[in-house]
Structure 1
Amino acid sequence: MKKFLIALLILGIIVSGGYLYIRYKTAPDYSGTRISEGMKKGADVYFDAFGIPHIYASNAEDAYQALGYVHAQDRLFQMEMMRRVGTGTLAEFLGADLVKADKFFRTLGIPQHAAMSTAEWMKPDSLNGAPAEMPEWKKSVLAYIRGVNQFIKDDKLPAEYMLLGSKPREFTLTDMHAIVGYMSFTFAMTLKTEPLVTKIARELGPEYLKVLSVHTLPEHKKISVFYPQRDSAGSILTPPAATSSDSTVSAMLEKLPVPQIMGSNAWVIAPSRTKSGQVLFCNDTHIGFAQPSVWYEAHLEYPGFSFYGNHLAGLPFGLVGHSREHSYGLTMFINDDMDMFEEKISPENPNETISGNLRVPMRVRQDTIRIKDAAPQIFTIRESHHGGIMNEVMPELEEVTKQPVAAWWVYLKEPTRALEATWKLSHARNLQEAESGARLIHAPGLNVMYGDKAGNIAWWASAKLPIRPAHVNTKLFLDGSTGADEPLGWYPFEENPMSVNPPSGFVASANNQPDTMKNKIFFPGYYYPGDRYDRIATTISSRKDWDQENIKALQLEAVNINHPKNAQVLLNAINPADFKEDEAILTALRNWKGTHELTETAPTLYYKWTYHVLRNMMVDELGEAYFNSFLETFLKIRSLPSLLRTAESPWWDDKGTEARETNRDIISEALVTSLKELKEQLGSNAADWKWESSIVSVHPHPLGAKKPLDRIFNVSTSTLKANGEGVNKLAFKLNGDGKYVVNSGPALRIILDFANVDASESVLPTGQSGNLFSGHYDDQAELYATGKYRPQMMHKETIQKEAKSVLKFTIK
């Protein structure tokens, strides 16, 4: 026993010593002095109680160089993951499991586009044909890169690099453009949806498709448009402030070590509907859960500029943020900006495609993927004039067609100007200047939301929208051989959906369909049915005394009023006498109001039952892989009411039996299965089937996929009110296990009243830092889980007085 205790003591000393050594070598230092090459005068950074940097400098370049340094100090490994996804170099860093992802993004063309955007960016600026001085926004980009690279060169790298036995290379402008490319891809729903819809159309027929909401239905809620008047140059004429009147792509993407954008809410309320008589601005961007979460907050001050922003890893300008005079945010404008063209190969030449009477050569190139601890892989990429041929990297296409399928994507058609756009948005001094930034966003589609101190509110659907032939169904593979399905050009930005100072007294967006454009066209997309938008619009319209406190109830609401309607359809299809012993839980579901309180039992049965109904309806036609893909597309959310309520739908019949099943057969069978599984999972007493027992709340780190690193790097929280399409959307994938992992939710929750900008609030899902040994790794996790907020500080005297540490950058 004595020897055992001594051995245990020695082991404890070794473990403790190792922990202290790793902490010493990798923990961030938020105080002291750093000497910075390239700075003109230096900068001071005050870190508040939540680790948010407040940067004070005498010029833009010094401010952004300091930002690059502190951003890297907290988020370098996140920057590493983001740039490696966008450059197709994950396998080089993490090993052979990521080869498929690298091949996918290289075939799609994001790395090549990043290099092209950099080449365009590097072209010298000119004025009247003569060389011009580099603009301030470009100087600031380069300064940010210097700051990131100074940290990489001089400071302590995070623990992930030590565990992986690797060191980061220098950060580059092409890395920035690659990050923009990946984030532009993340909501490319086409690649998940079009193979599925085409398979249904070709194998099952139109009677199956018409039950699905492939296109927006009349009952779906649409965003109102309100176009402003413009001058002859296209600029908004100064408008009056708003007044009031009453083994699929999916499986591959799940393995990526970075989050995907999943949706979002935003609304801006005009002075006529607020208690303060000033604009009230709210935004909560919905992004895949991850540790660290996607947004990095930073407050910058230099002469002529005072701004509090939320930044993506590796990008210098906030995608969401505010000054004392204006605020802007975003949601995904889920327009259809990608088409899949089924190509026809020339019989005379396998490297040519047919397009009408033409034979168009394909671009064929060899690419090499470096792999950690393995030999490099060489693979061939083929590109038609439409885009990369996706068959090799999307094996599910084989079930739909034997022909090559190319991805035509708006994002790849011109260099990105996202850096310039976000600079303009963050530096905008009025409504017109904000629009000049919004119009530079060509892809992905973003709903840019705006409010200002002058009382203006606005929403712009920012994207380059292609004009397609009238006959084209954008949810099916297009014919690449005739030339008849080709895009015809682009709509001007002025015709994009938008609303500027509308009579309703608010603008709002929740990823739903905008109303018709000026030309009376519904622009196609992968829009949500509008459950969240309806709750937001109805609630805002109900009163005229909104303030920073009472609006929180809406931002935190976990209610969906359509789910109880679906539940009633299911309950009406069964014979209650067959389920006498389960009467209590069925009564709870019958009385359900669509809330998701953790002690409720109705949601537990509703989601389990819904899953088994859908599976019993569809897996015999689609197969397991495509059924799982269906569960992850907009089709599931938009089509669920129609699928459940169409009694004569062909989906009800089980193709594996001789009998013809009805909706009652399938729904009753699904309930029997659901009740049996819930009793096995949660016990025989239905009163114990509380919603909280079925929810898992975790923010996964890229290294947390392997045990025991999950216990070290992942961040778990109190159970969240997971829900399907509530305003506070905490989403999960339906499954048969009855354990629902919350995989996305608000990545921030901003509330700002222009009556007191210094009192604005937000919260992050975990914390500001991605460094394991930072005190800000997860210090906001419980605030977030329990629906609390913390300040977005901008008042200098308060910041300096309450600062927890100060980091000074000096020049030689």
Structure 2
Amino acid sequence: MRRRLLRATLALLAVLVLAAGGLSWLALASLPRLSGEITVPGLERPVRIVRDAAAVPHVEAETADDAWFAMGFLHGQDRLWQMEFHRLLARGRLAEVLGPAALPYDRFFRMLGLARHAQAAAAGLSPEARRGLEAYSHGVNAAIARYGRILPPEFLILRHAPEPWQPADSILFQKLMALDLSLNWREELLRARLARRLSTEQLRDLWPGSAPDTPVTLAALAGLPLERLAAALPEAPPPGLGSNVWVVDGTRTTSGKPLLANDPHLGLQMPGHWYLAHLEAPGLSVIGATLPSLPFVVLGRNRDIAWGFTNTGSDTQDLFIERVDPDDPDRYLTPDGSEPFRKRIETIGVRGQEPVVLTVRETRHGPVISDLVPAAAEAVGTGYVLALAWTQLRDDDTTMAAGFALDRATDWPSFVAAAELYQGAQQNMAYADRTGLIGMISPGLVPIRRSGDGSMPVPGWTGAYDWQGTIPADRLPREAAPARGLLVNANNRLVDGDYPYLLTRDWESPLRAERLEALLRNARGLDADRFAAIQLDIASTLADTFLPWLLAAEPAGAEERAILAAMAAWDRRMAVDRPEPLLFAAWYEELAEVVHADELGPLFPAFRGIRPEFMRHVLTEAPRWCDDVRTPAMETCQQDSAQALHRAVARLHEYYGPNWRRWRWGEAHPAVMAHTPFEESRLLRRLFSLVFPIGGDSSTVNVAHHGTTRPELPFGAVAAASYRATYDLADPDGGGRWVAATGQSGHPLSPHYRDQAELWRQGRYLAMTMRQDRYRQDAIGVLVLRPSDSPPDG
């Protein structure tokens, strides 16, 4: 319903704007200036910005603060709508622009209160971080001022103008990213919902190897509106978020110096997540991928070191069941007696409607998320509410200082010192330097629980499951100079059973890591070409694992016999030009539904997904799941496989025609680079979104996790490598390769809105360089920013 309403609203807005005329002229007039001179307030000294042939800016500044200013100006020039949308989202103000369809998002983010915590963190910034964020904000505001009334197309269509950028907005964006990478609380909520329906043994089967050891408080859960709460939550981030990173020392390379590769996997979108940039100033020489809203290079290298991230997936969130004081509904019970709920009133503006007033309650653990349910007083009447504890809901946050320090780090000690300032969603930070050292450290705030494992909602009134601080920074996982000269992480398990702290029960599947280990374990003589080939690998470890069960299916007729013969000969590569990848993906989806949709009932859509560890557990150790509990017969896993094949072939015939030999994985599995919010408008998506075929699946090194992106694309890719880079420490001038998934510009009429997408699709790269003679060659523009005497805006 929300999507239909949003589509209708956007379509109406588009028609109104187009009818008014002049849109094309206004849109072209809002393209940023790339050459010449501009006078701006807030600079100390002139800054030169050279845009190379791919529109990547190379900033030449005389002070670091001026470099951060220039970065803000560039982000404001090229990605202003992207920044504004994220700010509106995280502040809970989307409905002001998009109308009532955005209210679930606004309610959720007002409940979280991220903006309040970001503002408090801004007040406690270190002097260096404060200067950098203030300079960056002045640069963004200088770009906004240059636009005047002729803003980028999204602002014109939606009739919206941005407010001045503030340092707190950058901190807020970092917390928004941390939320996307911290999904445990949703898994806890799902477990709680399933606990009402399934046995303890069945719950253990669903999460093999990470079975919850926390007792389930069913009596309290029974009193909570969990299903309505799940329905009231905004849409979750797409599945498949993660990354690959690996680093080798000089004993494994042709140059004798380390090589590092990194490709973060994020939801596909237009414009892309990353903005490539190079910054030069005294004491600062760094190149890599930036995130619009943050001034520093997040992933990249300087002249001494290189680094890359993967998400650890540590459990930094817990749901606490709070008991309401039976004598006073405005209070709740704690180990020390009754305490009042902290309350705040949030007024949410709604375009075209009266404002919505939301009362947010908080406990000592965090905000009461069950109040998101309409008529939440019903939950109070049961005597229980549900509160969210999360490491990001705090007022002290040094993550911005970490970002600035990483860009300036020169060796392992300074890199570790910078990493220990990072307090966002825990990351595995791989490292390499010119001396030959490689390493990895996993910083971030991870709670220490008095008891329990964070896998299920727990009683909050006893204190038994309360947090007792966070894991000390010097006790978080780290390794330097590994004996085998290789470190790999693909979001897989990071520590063994001897590690004294709990990071999470819900580790990512090891399938990608297993493939990387197989490719790298005995590899020698590695170079940038070999690293690129590994990043582009589309061999499916999911197919390696599960294809034998498909081949064991009893075919129904000649067509299925021919299909099984083709599958037996298949090389298990998820190639765009073959039918076998599509047949395997469709069969696996149908098998999952045949196996456990009967037990899960209405909760199956919430649980469904790739979940290879559960499926492998079923087929090897728990075949009881293959029996359909709705029939008197006892079905086997082989029968389920055959049924899944029948259903998959019938489904694919419906979508792709009668001749299975003409089906193509790329046609069914395109990358859908969806613009927010104009993907929801059929009229506007033609200009703002981008769709093209790609290979890969959730288990390939070259990840392309599929899901239903549009009704006609049930296998469309929703998450993939948003950025690919290899860093060669043999070259101090930025030796390496990089490519982003879309382009530098966020303006749909710019030639650089999507120009990297074809390179990315083909597995090609741009050359990374910090050498002036190289990036000035074939430059498309040189822009000089000169300081003015007037004070900066904002």
Same fold by TM-score, threshold 0.5 exceeded? yes
Q: Provide the rounded CA distance (Å) in 2 between the counterparts of 1:426 and 1:248.
A: 42
2:640 aligned with 1:666: yes
2:610 equivalent to 1:629: no
Contact 2:118–2:395 (8 Å) recurs in 1: no
Match of 1:316? 295
Change (3 A) 1:248 1:581: farther
Q: Bigger CA drift: 761-770 or 679-688?
A: 679-688
Match of 1:538 in 2: 518
Distance change (3 Å), C-alpha of 1:74 and 1:642: same
Aligned to 1:468, which of 438, 446, 449?
449
The amino acid that maps onto 2:102 is L
Counterpart residue type for residue 164 of structure 1 = L
Q: Deviations over 1:483-540 (max 9, x none)?
A: 1111233322222112111112012211111123864455314321211112212222
Render the CA deviation track for 1:214-241: whole Å, top value 9, x for unaligned.
5459xxxxxxxxxxxxxxxxxxxxxxxx
The 1:402/1:106 distance shift into structure 2, 3 A limit, reads same
1:575 alignment partner, one of 519, 534, 554: 554
Any idea what SS the aligned residue of 1:667 has? helix
Whole-Å Cα distance in 1 between the matches of residues 375 and 54 of structure 2? 45
C-alpha displacement of 1:754:
1.3
Residue 145 (structure 2) aligned to one of 153, 173, 177 = 153
Report the CA distance between 1:255 and its aligned residue. 8.2
- 1:135-158: CA deviation from partner (whole Å, max 9, x where unpaired): 344222211110100111123521
For residues 342 and 45 of structure 2, the distance between their equivalents in structure 1, rounded to whole angstroms, comes to 50
- Alignment partners' CA distance in 1, 2:247 and 2:697: 24
Question: Which secondary structure does the structure 1 equivalent of 2:369 belong to?
Answer: coil
Q: Which amino acid aligns with 1:741?
A: G
* Pairing of 1:409-488 with structure 2 (within 5 A): 409-470=390-451, 472-488=452-468
Matched, 1:701 2:678: no
Match of 1:241 in 2: none
* Letter matched to residue 585 of structure 2: Y
Residue of 163, 170, 176 corresponding to 1:176: 170
Q: Secondary structure at the match of 2:706?
A: coil
Distance 2:632 2:523 in 1: 58
Q: Provide the C-alpha distance between the structure 1 equivalents of 2:584 and 2:118, rounded to a whole number of angstroms.
A: 45
1:660 Cα deviation from its structure 2 partner:
4.5
> Which one is further off, 661-670 or 547-556?
661-670
SS in 1 for 2:649: helix
* Aligned counterpart, 1:229: none
Give the 3 Å change call, closer, same or farther, for CA 317–191 of structure 1 in structure 2: same
Residues in 2 aligned to 1:212 and 1:20: alpha-carbon distance in whole angstroms: 53
1:407 pairs with 2:388: yes
1:201 is matched by which residue type in structure 2? Answer: A
Q: Which residue of 1 aligns with 2:773?
A: 797
Q: Aligned partner of 1:766: which letter?
A: T
Check conservation: 1:751, 1:761, Cα contact below 8 A.
yes
1:687, 1:322 → 2: CA distance?
A: 46
Residues 224-267 of structure 1 show CA distances to partners (whole Å, capped at 9, x for unaligned) of xxxxxxxxxxxxxxxxxxxxxxx8769955488xx898100111
Question: Does 2:596 match 1:615?
Answer: no
Aligned residues of 1:106 and 1:112 also touching (Cα < 8 A): no
Residue 783 (str. 1) matches residue 762 (str. 2): no
> Partner amino acid for 1:755?
A
User: Which residue is 1:138 aligned to?
Assistant: 130
1:497 aligns with 477
Give 2:492's aligned residue: 512
> Which residue of 59, 63, 66 maps to 1:59?
63
Q: Classify the secondary structure of the residue corresponding to 2:525.
A: coil
Deviation at 1:430, TM superposition (A): 1.2
1:95-142: CA deviation from partner (whole Å, max 9, x where unpaired): 211111011112123122112212323xxx6xxxxxxxxx34422221
Q: Which whole-Å CA distance do the structure 1 matches of 2:568 and 2:712 have between them?
A: 23
1: distance between equivalents of 2:155 and 2:708?
Answer: 35
Structure 2 contact 549–638 (Cα < 8 Å) conserved? no
SS in structure 2 at match of 1:319: strand
Return closer, same or farther for 1:110/1:261 CA change in 2, 3 Å cut-off: farther
CA distance in 2, matches of 1:487, 1:315: 30
Taking structure 1 as reference, are residues 318 and 636 closer, same or farther at Cα in structure 2, changes over 3 Å only?
Answer: same
Q: Distance in 1 between matches of 2:757 and 2:169?
A: 30
Structure 1 counterpart of 2:190:
196
Q: Which residue of 2 aligns with 1:558?
A: 538
Equivalent position SS for 2:740: coil
The CA distance in 1 between the partners of 2:100 and 2:646, in whole Å, is 43
* Matched residue, 1:742: 717
Q: Do residues 712 (structure 1) and 716 (structure 2) align?
A: no
Helix, strand or coil at the partner of 1:199: helix
Determine the structure 1 residue equivalent to 2:122: 118
Q: 1 CA distance for matches of 2:456 and 2:235? A: 24
Aligned counterpart, 2:785: 809
Take 1:774 and 1:457, find their aligned partners in 2: how far apart are those partners?
40
675-684 or 655-664, which moves further after superposition?
Answer: 655-664
When structure 1 is superposed on structure 2, of 412-421 and 730-739 the one drifting more is 730-739
Q: Are residues 216 and 191 of structure 1, via their aligned partners in 2, closer, same or farther at CA, if it must alter by over 3 Å? A: closer
Structure 2: distance between partners of 1:800 and 1:531: 43
**Corresponding residue number in structure 1 for 2:726:** 751
**Residue 216 of structure 2: aligned partner:** none
Name the residue aligned to 1:221: none
Cα RMSD of the aligned pairs, angstroms, is: 2.6
Cα distance change of structure 1 residues 16 and 48 upon mapping to structure 2, 3 Å threshold: farther
Q: Which of 328, 331, 334 matches 1:349?
A: 328
Amino acid in the other structure paired with 1:148: V
For 2:628 and 2:368, how far apart are their aligned partners in 1?
35
Deviation at 1:467, TM superposition (A): 1.8
Contact 2:263-2:723 within 8 A present in 1 as well: yes
The answer to which of 662-671 and 290-299 deviates more is 662-671
The separation in 1 between residues aligned to 2:77 and 2:780, in whole angstroms, is 17
Quick one: which amino acid aligns to residue 612 of structure 1?
E
Deviates more, 1:802-811 or 1:776-785: 802-811
2:22 partner letter: G
Secondary structure in structure 2 of the residue aligned to 1:391: helix
CA distance in 2, matches of 1:423, 1:507: 25
Mapped partners of 1:328, 1:600: distance in 2: 36
Structure 1 unaligned blocks of 5 or more = 1-13, 126-134, 218-246
Distance in 2 between the 1:609 and 1:159 partners?
A: 42
Whole-angstrom distance in 2 between the partners of 1:176 and 1:288: 20
Q: In structure 2, how many angstroms separate the alpha carbons of the residues matched to 1:786 and 1:248? A: 43
Report the secondary structure of 1:331's partner residue.
strand
**How far apart are the structure 2 equivalents of 1:319 and 1:647?**
44
| Other-structure match for 1:128 | none
* Map 1:260-271 → 2, pairs under 5 A: 262-271=241-250
For residues 183 and 551 of structure 1, what CA distance do their matches in structure 2 show?
28
Question: Does the C-alpha gap of structure 1 residues 684 and 564 become closer, same or farther in structure 2, counting only changes over 3 Å?
Answer: farther
TM-score, L = length of structure 2: 0.89
Query: Given that residues 321 and 387 in structure 2 are in contact (C-alpha distance below 8 angstroms), is that contact kept between their aligned partners in structure 1?
Result: yes
Give SS of 2:269's match: coil
Deviations 1:288-311 (A, max 9, x none): 101111111111111222111311
Contact kept, 8 Å, 1:528 with 1:638, in 2: the verdict is no
Does residue 297 of structure 1 match 2:276? yes
1:166 to 154, 157, 160: 160
CA distance in 1, matches of 2:341, 2:546: 49
> 1:465 deviation in Å?
2.3
Equivalent residue number for residue 101 of structure 1: 105
1:86 to 63, 86, 90: 90
Are the counterparts in 2 of residues 248 and 629 from structure 1 also a CA contact under 8 Å? no
Q: 2:137 is aligned with what amino acid?
A: I
Using the TM superposition, give the Cα deviation of residue 648 of structure 1 relative to its aligned residue in structure 2, in angstroms.
Answer: 3.3
Distance in 2 (CA, whole Å) between partners of 1:562 and 1:704 is 30
Note the residue ranges of structure 2 that are not aligned, 5 or more in a row.
1-17, 212-227, 789-794
- Give the whole-Å Cα distance in 2 for the aligned partners of 1:276 and 1:811: 44
For residues 582-601 of structure 1, the aligned pairs below 5 Å read 582-601=560-579
Q: CA distance change for structure 1 residues 379 and 248 in 2, over 3 Å: closer, same or farther?
A: closer
C-alpha change, 1:797 and 1:517, in structure 2 (3 Å) is: farther
Alpha-carbon distance between aligned partners in 2 of 1:95 and 1:20, rounded to the nearest angstrom: 25
Distance 1:621 1:328 in 2: 45
Shift of 1:189: 1.5
Which residue, 337, 353, 358 being the options, matches 1:379? Answer: 358
In the TM superposition, residue 623 of structure 1 has moved relative to its aligned partner by 3.5
Contact 1:86 1:175 in 2 (8 A): no
